[in-house]
């Protein structure tokens, strides 16, 4: 689902997810401000255009000082995808099929315009069939460099923060919440920035980008699809992602956006008490996950401060 938890202040380890090509407004997350500044406004992802966002998105966490600091100061961490735990996450490839003549013409027109010397450009590439071939070879040689450069930016210079649409998956409690000893945060999606989350799609094939679009810088949709597409074996996570134009940064969310916290079924009582005291008076609802005695499942039971250990 994401990389390992990261210290937002030291920029070590954290859960995260990214949104490339986004324009945002920076916020003073560390100050605990309720004003949401700098969050993702980007082109729509066609794969998500009809996906209704759930009312609550959940984030599984281990009980660490960094995780406690993040939610008490109302901030989430955006990691670079290159650090995610799945090396196939955010994979993309170039469609290596032959480039159509019509696409070569589009590329020719674009390069001719950018050359600043259309007549000289024509004299270099138009007079003979050999020079036309030279132009095509020039295009092909530029594909790999353009692709690798764009992919590097998406994997290393954009930020992602990951969530799930359910809080009762025993495998996720094991993987992301320290074997059920951690907790799970529930965020309202009618609050910023969570209202901007995109659903992850699961499939067998790696997304492909058209080479002509790559060179003409018309690949926003393809590269956005890259970060919301995962192999279908991960579908149990039912993941949603927020994206930021910067990587390895923490940003604040609005007061009241943290709707609930769920204590893991194996969370020590002293850790439950710490969180209960930290959130006393905030209005955040507390629950404890309990193992079902007859099924391989957990269920949430609400608790109040007096009932907390």
User: What does the pLDDT look like over 148-190, one tens digit per residue?
Assistant: 888 888 889 989 999 999 999 999 999 999 999 999 999 999 9
> CB-based burial of residue 171 (10 Å sphere; 0-12 exposed, 13-18 middle, 19+ buried)?
exposed
Q: What is the pLDDT of residue 285?
A: 95
53-67, 80-94, 99-113, range with the lowest pLDDT: 99-113
How large is the angle between the packed helices 129-156 and 220-227, nearest 10 degrees?
40
Q: pLDDT at residue 9 above 80? A: no
Beta bridge partners of 163: 240
Q: pLDDT at residue 58 above 50? A: yes
Q: What is the pLDDT of residue 50?
A: 57
When pLDDT is averaged across residues 187-194 and rounded to a whole number, the result is 94
Quick one: DSSP state of residue 251? Answer: E
**135 CA to centre of own chain:** 38
Q: What is the pLDDT of residue 113?
A: 83
Percent of residues, the chain, with pLDDT higher than 70 = 78
CA angle, residues 79, 212, 129, in degrees to nearest 5: 150
CA angle, residues 161, 162, 166, in degrees to nearest 5: 150
Mean pLDDT of the chain: 79
**Distance, CA of 54 to CA of 58 (rounded, Å):** 10
**Distance, CA of 9 to CA of 274 (rounded, Å):** 21
Q: What is the pLDDT of residue 146?
A: 79
Q: Spell out where the chain has E strands.
A: 56-61, 75-78, 93-94, 159-164, 183-188, 198-199, 201-203, 208-209, 229-231, 239-244, 249-252, 258-263, 285-291, 298-303
Q: Write out pLDDT tens, residues 105-151.
A: 888 888 888 888 888 888 877 766 555 777 777 777 777 777 888 88
Q: What is the pLDDT of residue 218?
A: 62
Query: Which of these, 42, 124, 32, 29, lies nearest to 78 by C-alpha position?
Result: 29
Structural domains of the chain, count = 1
Domain containing residue 180: 1-309
Q: What is the pLDDT of residue 141?
A: 75
Q: What is the pLDDT of residue 153?
A: 87
User: Kind of pairing, strands 198-199 and 208-209?
Assistant: unpaired
pLDDT band at 22 (very low <50, low <70, confident <90, very high): very low
When pLDDT is averaged across residues 194-222 and rounded to a whole number, the result is 81
Q: Are 5 and 14 in contact (CB under 8 A)?
A: yes
Q: Which residues contact 150 (CB under 8 A, 6 or more apart)?
A: 214, 219, 223
Q: Write out pLDDT tens, residues 218-247.
A: 656 667 788 899 999 999 999 999 999 889
When pLDDT is averaged across residues 188-212 and rounded to a whole number, the result is 90
Q: pLDDT at residue 291 above 60? A: yes
Q: What is the pLDDT of residue 127?
A: 62
Q: What is the pLDDT of residue 193?
A: 93
């Amino acid at each position: 689902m994401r990389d390992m938890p990261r210290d937002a202040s030291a920029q070590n380890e954290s859960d995260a997810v990214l949104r490339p090509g986004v324009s945002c407004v920076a916020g003073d997350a560390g100050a605990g401000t309720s004003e949401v500044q700098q969050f993702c406004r980007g082109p729509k992802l066609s794969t998500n255009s009809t996906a209704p966002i759930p009312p609550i998105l959940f984030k599984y966490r281990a009980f660490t000082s960094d995780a406690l600091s993040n939610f008490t100061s109302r901030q989430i961490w955006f990691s670079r995808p290159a650090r995610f735990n799945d090396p196939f996450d955010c994979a993309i490839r170039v469609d290596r099929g032959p480039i159509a003549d019509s696409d070569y013409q589009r590329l020719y027109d674009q390069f001719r315009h950018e050359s600043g010397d259309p007549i000289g450009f024509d004299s270099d590439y138009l007079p003979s069939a050999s020079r036309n071939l030279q132009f095509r070879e020039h295009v092909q040689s530029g594909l790999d460099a353009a692709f690798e450069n764009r992919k590097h930016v998406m994997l290393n210079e954009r930020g992602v923060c990951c969530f799930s649409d359910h809080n009762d998956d025993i495998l996720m409690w094991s993987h992301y919440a320290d074997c059920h000893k951690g907790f799970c945060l529930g965020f309202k999606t009618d609050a910023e920035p969570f209202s901007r989350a995109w659903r992850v799609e699961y499939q067998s094939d790696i997304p492909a980008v058209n080479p002509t679009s790559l060179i003409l810088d018309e690949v926003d949709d393809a590269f956005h699809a890259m970060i919301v597409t995962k192999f279908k074996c991960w579908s149990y996570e039912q993941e949603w992602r927020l994206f930021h134009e910067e990587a390895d940064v923490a940003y604040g969310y609005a007061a009241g956006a943290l709707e609930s916290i769920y204590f893991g079924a194996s969370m020590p009582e002293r850790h439950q008490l710490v969180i209960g005291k930290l959130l006393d008076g905030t209005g955040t609802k507390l629950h404890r996950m309990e193992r079902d005695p007859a099924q391989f499942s957990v269920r949430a039971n609400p608790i109040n401060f007096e009932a907390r250990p």
